Amino acid sequence: MAGRVILTDEWAYDRRAAVLDQGRLIAFFNDNAFDDTPRPGAVVAVRVARVFPDRDRISADLDGIPASLRLGRRQAPSPGQVILATVTAEPREGKPLQLRQGCFIEHRWFLADSTAGGLRLSQRLRQGGFTPPGGLEPSSCQITLRLGAASAPPDTLMEEIRIAEDRIRAIKAMPALKPGVIENGPDAITTARQAFPDAEPVPGDDSTAWLQAGVDEQLEAALRPRVDLGGGGILHVSTPPGAAVFDGDSGDGDMTLRALAAAMVPAIARALVLRRISGPVVADFPRLNPADRRAIGANMVEAVEHDPLRPQCHGFEPGGLYTMTRPWRWRPLADLMAGDDRRLGLDALRLARAAAGGHDMAPAIRVPASVLAWLEGEGAAARLAALKSLAISPRFLSDEGISRPVRDETARS
């Protein structure tokens, strides 16, 4: 599969999007109808629970979902007050949903903020001497133009800003707020397209292309603690809560230290995005001379330049470790792929679909007992919708000896 593409897999109340570069998986997004947590970019109304001025934090409740947001320079709201906020990051590793006070719209060309006004340019646009289109005078919010605005068609840029202003104006004009989601954030497929605007979407829901690309197999491989760098080199990946550590090892190969370090750079950049790593990142490169260290540092900055979350590269510390910080937005891939009953139930439905593609209209799928209970309970609607669309009649068999769904080739009818 040539070039950079986005494959989609919409199936039984579940949406998945995979971004591939030359056939290699570089990013994955997933959402489904069984998860009521609002997505990043969602505009919500939350009830303030407690205010912590010394910690610059507000704890809030979103219809039963705990949330946290910064107090900032705004006047502190009162406990019990309902305020407007925007979801900036999903909950992860015991931390609650993260919010930003006000309505905040992020576009690849600009940022729109309901809590301020006027037009601003990003630092890189100012340094480049960019002149915004004439007549661009936002009236209902503050617009901060990003670097991408420099290459955007002026008429299209103006239209996108107008749409964002209209959205903010409508939300600000709403009557008394009640806790809940006002407008959810982009779904998995839209998020993939926004995060990788240079990727070509494959038309339609092409599950065949998904299978041929081996996306599910690449997802499983992405979570392994070792990455093969070629030439005998190995990258060890450790992700303790809230951080990540990368350690290069030449193993039994004959790679030079410089070659090992050079191979580590793209592998680290890919892992950051694909594994959805956030927080402090430490890379233990092999011992390098000053010139090679400068070159590797420059390579690292270049490698993460197009990361959707724009990591901040701090460089090499005196002890030789390379550090960076990656913002937090999406829950880690390990959490997304965790083998809970819901995910395994959807996997079982996908196995049934694959069997139908092979013209087996009554496949037998073995699943753990708890997964069978999900398919017959909470997931019953998804199961019925999926099977009706394919006109197949799979049998789901309880098997306590397995941890994930498997197709039983011996139980065909």
Within-domain flag for 215? no
Residue 251 in any domain: the answer is: yes
d(CA 370, CA 396): 12
∠ CA 262-293-196, nearest 5°, is 50
pLDDT for the residue 205: 60
The two tokens of residue 277 are 């790593």
What is the pLDDT, as a whole number, of residue 135?
A: 80
Q: Domain holding 351: CATH number?
A: 3.40.1260.20
- Residue 162 is assigned to a structural domain of this protein: yes
Domain boundary among 333, 361, 378: 333
Judge if 347 and 288 occupy the same domain.
Answer: no
Residues 50 and 137 in one domain: yes
Model pTM score: 0.86
Closest CA to 11 of 297, 277, 289, 206: 206
Strand partners, 247: 236, 284
CB-CB neighbours of 320 under 10 Å: 12
Looking at residue 34, its pLDDT comes to 80
pLDDT at 370: 92
Per-residue pLDDT, 116: 82
The two tokens of residue 252 are 């039994």
Specify whether 115 is located in the same domain as 202: no
pLDDT, position 223: 92
The parent domain of residue 17 ranges over 4-35+189-206
The reply to whether 212 falls in a domain is: no
List the one residue out of 80, 69, 131 whose CA is nearest residue 102.
69
CA 28/CA 199 separation, integer angstroms: 13
Number of domains in the chain: 4
Q: Based on the domain organization, do 227 and 277 belong to the same domain?
A: yes
pLDDT digits (tens, 9 = 90+) for 251-289: 777 889 999 999 999 999 999 999 999 999 999 999 999
Last residue of a domain, one of 171, 206, 241: 206
Using CA atoms, how far residue 46 sits from 37, 90, 100, in Å, is 13, 15, 11
User: For the stretch 279-314, what's the b/e string if a residue is b when 16 or more beta carbons lie within 10 angstroms of its beta carbon?
Assistant: bebebebbebeeebbeebbebbeebbeebbbebebe
Do 319 and 348 belong to one domain?
A: no
Question: Is 65 in the same domain as 159?
Answer: yes
CATH number of domain containing 70: 2.40.50.140
The answer to whether residue 370 is domain-embedded is: yes
Q: Residues 384, 327: one domain?
A: no
Whether residues 392 and 378 share a domain: the answer is yes
Q: What is the pLDDT of residue 402?
A: 86
Domain-embedded: residue 152: yes
Extract the residue ranges of the chain whose pLDDT is less than 70: 1-2, 12, 204-207, 339, 357-361, 389-391, 411-413
Q: Are residues 12 and 50 part of one domain? A: no
* pLDDT score, position 10: 82
Beta pairing class for 142-145 and 110-113? antiparallel
Closest CA to 398 of 362, 379, 370: 370
pLDDT of residue 140: 80
Please check whether residue 61 lies inside any domain of the structure.
Answer: yes
CA distance 63 to 165: 27
Q: In terms of domains, do 177 and 54 share one?
A: yes
- Which CATH number belongs to the domain containing residue 239 in this structure? 3.40.630
Sheet holding 406-407, edge to edge: 395-398, 364-367, 406-407
Q: Is residue 151 situated within a structural domain? A: yes
302 plus 352 within the same structural domain? no
Of 333, 368, 383, which marks where a domain is finished?
333
**52 and 10 both lie in a single domain:** no
